[in-house]
Chain A
Amino acid sequence: MKVLVAVKRVIDYNVKVRVKPDNTGVDLANVKMAMNPFCEIAVEEAVRLKEKGVASEIVVVSIGPKAAQEQIRTALALGADRGIHIETDEEVQSLEAAKLLKSVVEKEEPKLVILGKQSIDSDNNQTGQMLAALTGMGQGTFASEVVVEGDKVNVTREIDGGLMTLALSLPAVVTTDLRLNEPRYASLPNIMKAKKKPLESMSPADLGVDIANRLSTLKVEAPAARQAGVKVADVAELVDKLKNEAKVI
């Protein structure tokens, strides 16, 4: 079966985020960018499904500027078979991303679509669920285990109280949580091979999707900094401070 994986180019998770002095956003100039960590887990899961013989083809799609092709190439080096780049320099918000992905789903007809549960820049946690709703598919969000059996997929989800397992009819959408797998690193030979794998490029207009933003960001500020407090000498002093100074016990 065909698996579609969506990946996003975001600020590298090791980079210290700095808000721009004019409060219009986060400073991304000359900042290291990378594949969103949850999307790496999504790619890894698809590759494992292929290694198990469950997936026959992995198509990776990314929406973003020209440079997003780097993340598509990374996914190809990790084991995806071909790439689709929906190129735009505009900010694409979750609903519009879901609409773009819907048109890819309609064309590619994958049995399974795997996405990260959220991107570490906007932290929205929306696109997978929106795509599922728009395409009329079931969803297994925050997945920690994915087992395909025939025309069903069983997804174990990380929920507030513990774990929950759902059975979804295929085609379905899965969004990944942290403990689904540990992504591998691409080997140098595979990075070289990935350069020859097919990568198709198109625009949102080619897909007939209006990507005008519905949400306007009015300002972006740094969070109120928390001041470091005092060091206490021992446990007795700590308990005394909690009881008599902070009055929280």
Chain B
Amino acid sequence: MSILVIAEHDNSSLKQATLNVVAAAKAIGGDIDVLVAGENCGAVAEAAAKAEGVNKVLVADNAAYGHFLGENLGELVAEVGKGYSHILAAAGTTGKDFMPRVAALLDVAQVSDIIRVESEDTFVRPIYAGNAIATVKANDAIKVITVRPTGFDPVAGEGGSASVEQLDIVKDAGLSAFVNEELAKSDRPDLGSAGIVVSGGRGMQNGDNFKMLEQVADLLGAAVGASRAAVDAGFVPNDMQVGQTGKIVAPQLYIAVGISGAIQHLAGMSDSKVIVAINKDEEAPIFQVADYGLVADLFEAVPQLEEELKKVL
């Protein structure tokens, strides 16, 4: 078996999710190649070559791939991937965008968002927002798979010494063009891979009050997230949303503040190792999944939490 992993990156650095996907590839077994498609992405290729268990890094460096347009990546990956038994990518918004195109171009089914590998052709994935877990067998010759990064512990990012090979394949479908992007800038860790996440819900009442959570997060080296209710209310931008339709997180510690615990939110964080809930409504469903629940007014509890943390950290 031979597995092609599509690297997730921003043209300058390799995203950790790629290491989780390589771990999924290792669970399948076989030679693992990594494809880095981007523009001026040499540093990413070098980083990918150091990842544990990688055999070869293929680099497609061209302006056509600079913004990860699904049409162009779809054609590239379908062409490079047709010689492999498995094609894997992280189930982030980039992988979710281009991988179904790859599957369609190869005329094979895609298995989305796997959280476990049972065998080379059998995978486990959540359905119904995580309310059911399906074991699925893929019957096509090439398995096109997106991987939920939190389902797999990442391989080491250092120590490997894969060869790096430049590909001269330019696929520019000419169907779409990049106009602009507004990316959130933050010195905090990435929400999807942070070890600790502090999230706020509708109970925060407004966006300014999230500053209280940011102060706690900065003490803990944590990322800040939000429930869909908080995003829909306009308190914070969409990239902070944790839940079924937002980011799926599984940190060591998840602190839910003023979040009631709607099913769609639980779907995004219930695999966290330790869950803390702070909510003034003791009937809130979030307490049914929380390891430690504190029934309190968050506007008193959060400043106290900051003070207590300062004492012990």
A residues near B, CB below 8 A? 11, 16-17, 19, 26, 93-95, 98, 120-134, 136-142, 144, 154, 157-169, 172, 177-179, 214-223, 226, 228-232, 234-236, 238-239, 241-243, 246, 248-249
Contacts and interface: CB of A to CB of B under 8 A. Distances in A.
Given A242-B274, A248-B274, A214 B108 contact: yes
A161 B289 contact: no
Nearest to B108: A214
7 contacts: A19-B132, A94-B100, A126-B110, A132-B71, A133-B101, A232-B293, A241-B292
Interface residues of B, number: 91
B128 A26 contact: yes
A130 B101 contact: yes
A215 B175 contact: no
A217 B134 contact: yes
A139 B293 CA distance: 44
Contact of B108 (A95, A131, A165): A95
B188 interface: no
Interface majority SS (helix, strand, loop, mixed), chain B? mixed
A54 B127 CA distance: 36
Interface in B224-245: 228, 231-232, 237-239, 244-245
B138 to A, nearest CB: 6
B136 A121 contact: no
Interface string B95-122: 0111111011101111111000000001
Contact of A219 (B135, B174, B180, B293): B135
B69 A235 contact: no
B253 A248 contact: yes
Contacts of B291: 229-230, 246
Contacts of A139: 70-71, 97, 101, 176
Contacts of A136: 175
A127 B101 CA distance: 9
A167 B112 contact: no
A45 B104 CA distance: 26
Contacts of A128: 100
Contacts of B288: 226, 228
Contacts of B107: 95
Contact of A236 (B137, B232, B244, B308): B308
Contacts of B130: 223
A59 B252 CA distance: 48
A167 B104 contact: no
Interface string B174-187: 11111111111000
A129 B112 CA distance: 13
B131 A179 contact: no
Contacts of B174: 169
Interface string B76-92: 00000000000000001
Contacts of A178: 228, 232, 245
Contact of A231 (B176, B274, B293): B293
A17 to B, nearest CB: 4
Given A218-B122, A238-B276, 7 more contacts: A130-B101, A130-B104, A142-B93, A160-B94, A217-B137, A223-B133, A249-B312
B206 to A, nearest CB: 18
Contacts of A154: 179
Contacts of A220: 127, 132-135
A151 to B, nearest CB: 12
B101 A231 contact: no
A168 B293 contact: no
A242 to B, nearest CB: 7
Nearest to B71: A138
Contact of B238 (A133, A141, A144, A229): A144
A161 B184 contact: yes
Contact of A218 (B105, B135, B184): B135
A147 to B, nearest CB: 10
